[in-house]
Every structure is written in structure tokens, then in C-alpha cells.
Amino acid sequence: MTEYFQELFKASEIEWHEIIECNEPSISTEQNLELFKPISEEEVKDALFQMHPDKSPDPDGMTPTFYQKFWRIYYPRGSYRDAVLGTNPSFIWWSIWEAQDLVRKGVRRSVRSGSEIDIIKDPWLHSDEDMYVVSNHPSLGNKKVASLLKIGQRDWDAELINDMFVESDKELILGIPLSSSADKDLWQWTKELSCFYTVKSAYKFTPELKGRWWVDDNSSFWHQFWQLKVSPKAVFEANSKEKRGVAGMLCWALWKGRNDLVWNQNIFSIEEVVVLAKSNLDQWLSAQEKHASLFVDLLLPEDGGECWTKPQMGYAKINVDATLFVNDRQIGFSCVARDHDGYLIEAIASRRRGIVKPEMAEALGVKEALS
């Protein structure tokens, strides 16, 4: 009987590659590209105003009514960067608006089609010092970045750029990698690799703008600040890790108590604030220990450093690496492809003009390997 059921339920010998090849794709390449495009601000606005105002609230307790009302009041031109404080603003909007200047200094236009980016007025250069063009050629006024591309091609018009820009701008422009598809130009937050805004990166960026003492490279302030073993809601500095954790959660509990008083007229006693901070800290630390143990249990004594492994049968593995040649203002990358036996299929190495961050250089190498 055992052998009967083993034979019945064992894996079949059918070649699944043949089955997959018989399936005709139902989604075209163009549709796939459209589906994977980043969500635009216009799409968010359209979706928001299609919702019924009294639909179920988000986890923050806000219904669509809140967002629809505030969008109309504070985003009349559809952009947070251009929004004004307004008369008699709410506490929430005032808090959001206060970060506007910081956001303006930390965002950059990502060149896709280039049709929406003003050459002079918009920040679009890949530079930590100044993302705006400094060239003042009279022909650049009210022109879009798309006019700097070769007609019908996804490549910079080097001859045109050499004629119209100063040396520093030329190097930065020609070093900007271009997407293979002319999608809508996007905004990106330059202080995170993900290009999305985070409170943590904003905290680190703020003292850079204000020239505070804790930006000093020799200071361990920010390293200690963000290494605290507390919930991401709270951070603080104290004499030990344990005290810093308690102090950070106390600040969070005070902030929460203050908000409950302002918005809900709930009054917390000192004892209640302390209990709230300690209970949240204990729960969070306990959760972290349980989470970590799941991974620790999987490790074996013989586990060592990461090493190259062969891909599955019928697959190839491509390894990519990149480097920066700062003096030559160039980037270099190499790609090595090997089969399931570890034998070399192909290897390439190339250089490109321009200086970008190491992550971007490696991304260019991956793109080259996939093209």
C-alpha cells in the first residue's frame, strides 16, 4: 500500500519547460512596461477623488474626506513644493509645510523623457553641491531637457551640450544615465538609495543644511542615534544604550500624550506616560528577540562568508561589479556570465564618461548585462 501511494503522489517526469513554452503570453511587452511604471501624482489624485468621502478610514483613522479637503486647499497647483501655508492652517498642515524647504533642497528631477524638466529652473544634475545648471547661455531660457537629446534617440547630443554649457555642467549632464524608455519625468529624494523620502534621512539632512556640530565626520552622534534598540518611533542620546532606549521611548510617550491632549482632550498623568513608554519598549524588544532567533537557529557553525555558487540546471548566472575613476571622471563596470557548470559564457568590461554614485554605476552594469 505504501508503494502504491508513493508512486501515485511522486513528482512526474514531465519536462515543465515544454509545457510553459506552449502557453501564449496574454500581456504584451508594452502593457508590461505600462504596469511597471512608477505611480504618478496625477494617478494618486485621480484615485483619491474617485473614493467616497466616508469610506473606511486608513490605519491612521483618516477617511478620504480629510485627504480630499486638504488636497484642494493646500495643493491648488498639484504640487507640495509650491503649496502655501494659507490662513489659519491646521496643526497637521503646519507641521507638514514646515519641512517644505528641506524637501526642496533634497529632491531632484529624474530624467526620463525630459519633456517636463526646465533646464534652468529645475534641479536635475547629479551633484551633491548644486543640482541646478549654472550655465547662462541665452538659448537655454524656457527650454526643456528633452531638447538636449539626439532626435529620435535615447542619447545626449554631446555636440550641442559642448557648445551651450560650461565645463562643470557638461561633465554632469553627459554623466547622467538615460532610461531606455521615455517615461514621465519623476521626482526623487536624493538622501535615500530607494529615492523615497524617509524621516530618518531628513533628520540626517537637516544639520547638513544648518551647519550643526554633529555633522562632523568624527562625531559618533548619528551612528549612536540611529542604532538605538527601540521602536522606530523614538530616538534620543544618553550615556548608555539601555538609558538611551528608555529616554527615546519617554520622549515618544510625551509626544503622544501631548497630541492626545491637543486633539482628543485626554489628559495623561506622569505615571501613565512612564508606563506607556516602558510597556511599548518592552514589547518591541521582545518582538525583536523573537524575530532574530528565527534566523540565528538556521545558522550552522560551518557557515562562512558568502561565496559564488552555481545556478540551477539550464540557467546562467551573471555577476556584475563597478568602479569609479574619479580623476578621469569616468565609471567602469564588468560583467561575467557563467552556466550551470560554472563555465564561462561571456565577459565584458566597459567605461563610460561621467561621475555617479557607486550604486548607480553598478545599476548601469546590470542594465548592460541585461541588454
Residue 214 pLDDT > 70: no
In the sheet where 317-325 sits, what is the strand order? Answer: 317-325, 330-338, 344-353
Name, of 46-60, 73-87, 134-148, the range with top average pLDDT.
134-148
Do strands 330-338 and 344-353 pair parallel, antiparallel, or not at all (unpaired)? antiparallel
CA–CA distance, 47 with 238 (Å, rounded to integer): 45
CA–CA distance, 120 with 130 (Å, rounded to integer): 12
* pLDDT score, position 294: 39
User: pLDDT tens digits for 298-353?
Assistant: 445 555 556 778 888 889 999 998 888 877 778 888 899 999 888 999 898 888 87
- Average of per-residue pLDDT values in the chain: 78
User: pLDDT tens digits for 101-150?
Assistant: 899 899 999 998 898 899 999 999 988 788 999 998 888 988 999 999 99
Backbone φ, ψ for residue 161 (5° rounding): -65, -40
**Lowest-confidence segment of 130-139, 237-246, 276-285 by average pLDDT:** 237-246
**Lowest-confidence segment of 10-14, 267-271, 328-332 by average pLDDT:** 10-14
CA–CA distance, 302 with 27 (Å, rounded to integer): 46
